[in-house]
Amino acid sequence: MKQSIRAAVLAAPRRFNLVDRPAPVAAPGEAVVRVSSTAVCHTDLSIFTGEHPGIKYPVILGHESTGIVESVGDGVTGMKNGQHVIINPIISCGHCDSCLRGAQQLCRNAGLFGREVEGSMCEFVRLPVRYLHTLPDDMSLADATLIETLATVRHAQDRLGVKAGESVVVLGQGTTGLLHTRLAVIAGANPVIAISRTKWKLDMATRMGAHHVLDISAEKAVDEVLRLTGGSGADIVIDTAGGAATLMASIEMLRPGGRLSPYAVSHECCTQFTTFPLYYKEISIIGSRALNPTDMAPAIDLVAGGQIDVAGFVSATYPLDRAADAFDEYERNPGKVLRIVIDSTAS
């Protein structure tokens, strides 16, 4: 292995520097991973633009990451050189009440790899092996970055308890919306109704198995959802768009006793929201945060087994030294891009 490695350091909002750093060495219980691919998501974009609260710059971004184990430290079993891996980026302390309950995503001392901890927009990373999950050797390491997102989607649907025969509406058909649509179809939900204002995303939703696709705003979709569910309203609404307007529409399109996942992270204040529908319709609003480590293996299996086809989500690949261009494209073309990937092996 090399003495020094290249890293794309975000020195300040909108300012990447490519720097040489000492190569990491695996301590006991750790592995060094040769980074292959890092997908860029909205969290990364908000750190890039300076909109993400509480960020200390400089920071090395990258948390949707795959690679190949380069070396392991003393005492490591079950992980060896050459294994293809995906990183679980949710850093947890292992000793707080949440961790002891097995809810590592709610760790009191949680951090995100690629935010509080240096991430994968570099050539090699070092981290405890408990954050590594093995991938099949024949799976594309670029496409496999989607598995981290799929695990967060799986976590949300696990919390919702999606059952066969239930009607599910998915608002927004970006990466997470499409994966929600597919996972609901696999769970046997019927009908699964996908809503977006972007035609090609609805075409992908059809490929994901959506029973109905609606090119319509969330507000205008309420009547249509009622019609498609025989007047009763949906059992479940998953909002991957986020914001005040979709929250109110989501509640309206639910049947009495329905469940809502406000999946998209939004800080928008919902001034029209009252708790009345929670009383009158017994609506349950079910939060979900990131992923639990137990979501990773099933997410890998869903892709490895072909039940979820993540080919076609990655629309562009950039080398490490063009990280800034990747973020520019992601920021300029949100309606055209699902995932952009940084390839740490290219130059």
Residues at the interface with Zn ion (CB under 5 A)? 41, 43, 92-93, 96, 99, 107
> Three-state SS string across 140-200, please?
CCCHHHHHHHHHHHHHHHHHHCCCCCCCEEEECCCHHHHHHHHHHHHCCCCCEEEEECCHH
Cβ contact 342:318 at 8 Å: yes
Type of residue at 259: R
Cβ distance to Zn ion smaller for residue 251 or 323: 323
Shortest Cβ 106–Zn ion spacing (Å): 8
Shortest Cβ 134–Zn ion spacing (Å): 21
Cβ contact 308:298 at 8 Å: no
Cβ distance to Zn ion smaller for residue 52 or 197: 52
Q: Report CA 133 to chain centroid distance, whole Å.
A: 16
Cβ distance to Zn ion smaller for residue 8 or 41: 41
Q: What residues are paired with 116 via a beta bridge?
A: none
Shortest Cβ 86–Zn ion spacing (Å): 13
Cβ distance to Zn ion smaller for residue 93 or 285: 93
Cβ distance to Zn ion smaller for residue 35 or 253: 35
Distance CA 27, CA 296 (A): 24
Cβ distance to Zn ion smaller for residue 44 or 235: 44
Cβ contact 125:32 at 8 Å: yes
Cβ distance to Zn ion smaller for residue 5 or 99: 99
Complete DSSP assignment for 275-294: SHHHHHS--EE----S--GG
* Relative orientation angle of helices 42-49 and 323-332, to the nearest 10 degrees: 100
Identify which of 205, 171, 212 has the alpha carbon closest to the alpha carbon of residue 190: 212
Shortest Cβ 109–Zn ion spacing (Å): 5
Shortest Cβ 94–Zn ion spacing (Å): 6
Shortest Cβ 333–Zn ion spacing (Å): 18
Shortest Cβ 99–Zn ion spacing (Å): 3
Residue 88 CB partners (closer than 8 Å, separation 6+):
131, 132, 133, 148, 151, 291, 293, 296
